Amino acid sequence: MRLLYSLMLYLLLPGVLLRLWWKGQGVAAYRRHWKERLGRGLPSQQAAIWLHAVSVGEVRAAQPLINALRERYPHKTLLVTTSTPTGRQTVRQLFIDKVECCYLPYDLPGAVKRFLSTLDPALAIIMEVELWPNLYAELAARGTPLYLVNARLSQRSLQGYQRLGRLMRKTLRHVVHIAAQTETDKARFLELGVKPENLSVTGNLKFDVQLPADFDLQVAQIRPLLAGRQPVWLAASTHEGEEALLLRTHKALLQRYPQALLILAPRHPERAAELAQQCTAEDLSGRVLSAPVSDPGRETVWLVDRLGWLVYGYGVADAAFIGGSLVDRGGHNPVEPLLAGVPVISGPQIANFAELYAQLEAAGAAFIVNGGTGLSMRLTDWLDDRGKRDRAVDAGRWIVRKNQGSLARVLNIVDHH
């Protein structure tokens, strides 16, 4: 079965590389370091500990774990791999040169063997759920212990993996232990054939993420740039299909709050220029943050095209909408805005964070809306009643504190297996 799987990957490889080149037309970073995806041109220094986090969200969730591993093993080299340029850039921003970084190669037998032969990790940790049959088999053949941490498994992913049947069951047998986020995730892994003794529920590492040390300083530097524009609401990690509705909602809000500002942060920052054109089409003045300011103080929309800036934007926002939830993306992580003291609104597509949103809704810290009318009503409710907004902020911070502790549980598992 794995042989057939590998053959299919080799047949698909030309198309995959062509797609990588095509994406590089819009984002040049996709064309850089491409040899690493084939297990070549890797860092020369071997890594005692290897952690894989596919993209930005997983890298940020892994931040407390990476810091803890660096403190625990200060003399051991730590390698972090990603699958996207934005993930790689986030690693560099968060850790500078304190960890090695490269792309995880495609799950081709030759690429995987070159990767592991070059870096020879003594410990492998994979964030959330990335099930690669050849990689897992090669790690097992080398006797390298493998852990899945902060693991989650959506119903859709479960059904997809079940179609691969025996191949996935055999792949998962190579994992020493799976630290699942929730009881629901644990139950789904059991359905895939994972033994109960190899599973535990440790919670979500994202609750253990802290605001940057310079958070207050950076927020204080942003506030004067607002030039009296209030209120401010922020739409984070948005996707195509959501922004048009968000811009129309903002246009309606301007009738009630003429000085209102929308900070719009697309999930893929390179889309900011495209969104500036959408602003013009809606008769809104949009400013891409990295572009020169032609008419300062007149913009009604700020478009975020800088990785790492979003967390500071939360610090000046009165409310936040979390994207990927009005389209079928499963939603994105609401913990960071809650930490920054911002109440959260989301669309209904929140499969990735369903249990968390259930807690937040019950506590009054977040609200689920179905479209622009509901979004506008909730924003207006909070903006008109600061007391109600502040109670939502307090509830959100309480939920975050209640769910912290995953880091200690994950470290305990890795230390004792």
The alpha-carbon radius of gyration of the chain (Å, integer) is 22
Determine how many CB atoms are found less than 10 A away from the CB of residue 165. 12
In 3D space, the residue among 303, 246, 236 whose CA is nearest the CA of residue 60 turns out to be 236
Q: Which residues touch 284 (CB under 8 Å, ≥6 apart)?
A: 247, 250, 251, 300, 301
State residue 310's pLDDT score.
95
State residue 266's pLDDT score.
96
User: Which of 58, 130, 243, 336 is the catalytic position?
Assistant: 58
Average pLDDT of the residues in 91-99: 91
Average pLDDT of the residues in 158-175: 91
pLDDT band at 114 (very low <50, low <70, confident <90, very high): very high
State residue 366's pLDDT score.
94
Q: What is the CATH number of the domain that holds 196?
A: 3.40.50.11720
In 3D space, the residue among 317, 399, 404 whose CA is nearest the CA of residue 361 turns out to be 399
Instruction: Give the neighbor-by-neighbor strand order of the sheet with 301-303.
Output: 286-288, 301-303, 261-266, 232-238, 319-322, 344-346, 366-368
Residue with tokens 């500036």: 276
Same-domain status, 102 and 186? yes
Is residue 215 scored above 90 in pLDDT? yes
Is residue 70 scored above 90 in pLDDT? yes
Asked, for residue 405, whether it belongs to a domain, the answer is no
Same-domain status, 302 and 396? yes
Q: What is the CATH number of the domain that holds 224?
A: 3.40.50.2000
Cα–Cα distance measured from residue 231 to residue 249, given in angstroms and rounded to the nearest whole number: 14
Q: Any bridge partners for residue 303, and if so which?
A: 264, 288
pLDDT band at 227 (very low <50, low <70, confident <90, very high): confident
State residue 254's pLDDT score.
95
Same-domain status, 363 and 230? yes
Distances (CA, A) of 71 to 68, 153, 369, 404, 412: 5, 30, 42, 20, 15
Same-domain status, 109 and 159? yes
275-325 pLDDT per residue, tens: 999 999 999 999 999 887 665 667 899 999 998 899 999 999 999 999 999
Domain that holds residue 100: 30-201
pLDDT band at 154 (very low <50, low <70, confident <90, very high): confident
274 catalytic residue (yes or no): no
State residue 156's pLDDT score.
86
> Which one of 171, 201, 231 terminates a domain?
201
Q: 319: buried, middle or exposed (CB in 10 Å: 19+, 13-18, 0-12)?
A: buried
Number of domains composing the chain: 2
Same-domain status, 245 and 369? yes
Average pLDDT of the residues in 139-156: 94
State residue 417's pLDDT score.
64
Share of the chain above pLDDT 70, in %: 99
Cα–Cα distance measured from residue 103 to residue 121, given in angstroms and rounded to the nearest whole number: 15
Asked, for residue 18, whether it belongs to a domain, the answer is no
10-32 pLDDT per residue, tens: 999 999 999 999 988 878 889 99
Same-domain status, 161 and 38? yes
Q: 277: buried, middle or exposed (CB in 10 Å: 19+, 13-18, 0-12)?
A: exposed
Per the prediction, the chain carries an average pLDDT of 93
Same-domain status, 225 and 299? yes
Q: Which residues touch 201 (CB under 8 Å, ≥6 apart)?
A: 179, 180, 181, 182, 183, 185, 186
In 3D space, the residue among 136, 29, 8, 46 whose CA is nearest the CA of residue 82 turns out to be 29
Reading the block at residue 274, the tokens are 């495209």
Same-domain status, 312 and 248? yes
pLDDT band at 264 (very low <50, low <70, confident <90, very high): very high
Q: Which residues touch 372 (CB under 8 Å, ≥6 apart)?
A: 245, 248, 249, 252
Same-domain status, 315 and 182? no
pLDDT band at 416 (very low <50, low <70, confident <90, very high): confident
Same-domain status, 197 and 219? no
Please, are residues 410 and 202 in contact by the beta-carbon 8 Å criterion? yes
Asked, for residue 14, whether it belongs to a domain, the answer is no
State residue 292's pLDDT score.
75
pLDDT band at 195 (very low <50, low <70, confident <90, very high): very high
Average pLDDT of the residues in 377-399: 94
State residue 294's pLDDT score.
60
State residue 371's pLDDT score.
87
Q: Any bridge partners for residue 321, and if so which?
A: 235, 345
